[in-house]
Amino acid sequence: MDHLEKRAKRWSLEEVREYLLQHDIRISAYRLKIFEYLINERTHPTAEEIYEVIKRDLPAISPATVYNTLRLFLEKKIVQLVSVEKNEGRYDATLSWHGHLKCLACGKVFDLHIETLKLDGLEGFEIFEKHLNLKGLCPECLKTKNFKREGKHG
Amino acid sequence: MDHLEKRAKRWSLEEVREYLLQHDIRISAYRLKIFEYLINERTHPTAEEIYEVIKRDLPAISPATVYNTLRLFLEKKIVQLVSVEKNEGRYDATLSWHGHLKCLACGKVFDLHIETLKLDGLEGFEIFEKHLNLKGLCPECLKTKNFKREGKHG
DNA sequence: ATACTATATTATAATCGTTATTAAATTATA
DNA sequence: TATAATTTAATAACGATTATAATATAGTAT
């Protein structure tokens, strides 16, 4: 249920390799896997979620590698940080301007297409980043009543 | 340089007291001080900044009290959390819908008036919170060149 | 007022996500 | 192949915040 692009084509490992090299990032098995996961799954995972997923294929991976790799990807500007929740960093390889909505029941983060945004009083400012973050409940959770009063979920 | 309201009237301690009581919050010297600071200064301070400020008048205060009080204010919904930076929580007693812009050079957080925001694909969702966070440079810092390449600042 | 109860506050330890450090492993280059 | 540079893993450290336990304060009932 991606609200940005109904179904983006999957990137091959060769395409990922090309993309990393183009962005001045040396290749390693971990880097290929991590970026491939981010760009193809687009679930805005946390570092820990990425660690768990990669570990299935490459059990020797360390959490530090995931953090280092994500930091590198941020520096090279091929992923963006999503901070819907203050205490959890999530990572998104889709760079086009869009918003995020976190469902407080199931924890999923959905992409939002922004039709228009007009701001007042920005004369003289220089803007580098824009982030629009919503919190609420997704249709699935509303339907299945997957929430309590004021329900929160990691 | 508040871009929301040029100059909001200051709240008296008596008004703060009333407001807290109306929101089911028992009165204490710390609570009065902390809310009075948030509502009258509107600088979106961190917990640590609040701690430093209150300590000038009430040196016995503990950081835990600031955190406890802010958590209470959040629960009672009389302040909102501003998360422009993932690693720092800031607090805002202005509840009307507005955005925030953090200057990466001086660290100040400015309020933004949002003229229009239209989103696509929200049918079936229930929205509780909306946060718009920008990062950039403020006019003052741009003028005084108070920044390096890619300058960041807490 | 006095005793009793509930709440607020402090000091401190613990937690969580993340970053820093260091040594070993890997990769690139001369 | 030797050498240098980079990547990785294990672990310690860090910073913001939360939990814990003991004390202080405030509210209520007698």
B49 vs B33: CA distance, rounded Å? 13
Count CB pairs under 8 A between chains A and B: 125
Query: DSSP code of A56?
Result: H
CA-based end-to-end distance of chain B? 19
C-beta separation of A32 from A61 below 8 A: no
Query: DSSP code of A6?
Result: S
B2 vs B23: CA distance, rounded Å? 26
User: Is there a contact between A125 and B139 if contact means CB atoms under 8 Å apart?
Assistant: yes
Q: From the CA of A26, how many Å to the C1' of D3?
A: 20
Q: What 3-state DSSP class applies to A4? A: coil
Q: Which of B46, B76, B97, B122 to mutate to test the interface with A (most CBs of A within 10 A)?
A: B122
B151 pLDDT above the threshold of 70: no
How many Å lie between the alpha carbon of A28 and the closest alpha carbon of chain B?
27
Percent of chain A with pLDDT over 90: 88
For residue B147, what pLDDT is reported? Answer: 72
User: Is there a contact between A120 and B112 if contact means CB atoms under 8 Å apart?
Assistant: yes
A10 vs A31: CA distance, rounded Å? 17
A95 pLDDT above the threshold of 50: yes
Q: Residue B144 corresponds to which amino acid? A: T
For residue A150, what pLDDT is reported? Answer: 43
Single out the residue of A99, A97, A98, A110 nearest to residue A137, CA to CA: A110
Domains of chain B as residue ranges with CATH: 13-92 (1.10.10.10), 99-144 (3.30.1490)
A144 vs A153: CA distance, rounded Å? 15
| pLDDT confidence bin for A5, thresholds 50/70/90 | low
For residue A86, what pLDDT is reported? Answer: 93
Q: From the CA of A24, how many Å to the C1' of D4?
A: 20
C-beta separation of A59 from A12 below 8 A: no
Measure Cα distances from B78 to A87, B87, B91, B124 in Å. 21, 22, 10, 28
| pLDDT confidence bin for A3, thresholds 50/70/90 | low
Close Cβ partners of A136 (under 8 Å, ≥ 6 residues apart): A101, A102, A103, A104, B125, B126, B127, B128, B129
A55 pLDDT above the threshold of 60: yes
Chain A residues within 8 A of B139 when measuring between CB atoms: 123-125
Mean pLDDT of the A11-28 span:
95
B32 vs A81: CA distance, rounded Å? 36
* CB neighbourhood size of B130 (10 A): 18
C-beta separation of A122 from B99 below 8 A: no
Mean pLDDT of the A110-130 span:
96
B97 vs B90: CA distance, rounded Å? 16
C-beta separation of B140 from A146 below 8 A: no
A153 pLDDT above the threshold of 60: no
How many Å lie between the alpha carbon of A115 and the closest alpha carbon of chain B?
5
Mean pLDDT of all residues belonging to chain A: 92
A110 vs A102: CA distance, rounded Å? 6
For residue A149, what pLDDT is reported? Answer: 47
How many Å lie between the alpha carbon of A144 and the closest alpha carbon of chain B?
13
Give the DSSP per-residue string, B74-141.
HHTTSSEEEEEETTEEEEE---SS-EEEEETTT--EEEEEEEEEEEES-TT-EEEEEEEEEEEE-HHH
Chain B residues within 8 A of A153 when measuring between CB atoms: none
Q: Residue A146 corresponds to which amino acid? A: N
Chain B residues within 8 A of A132 when measuring between CB atoms: 117, 130-133
Q: What 3-state DSSP class applies to A138? A: coil
Backbone angles phi, psi at B132, to 5 degrees: -115, 115
Specify the nucleotide whose C1' lies closest to residue A60 (CA).
D9
Closest residue to A125, CB basis, from B85, B101, B129? B101
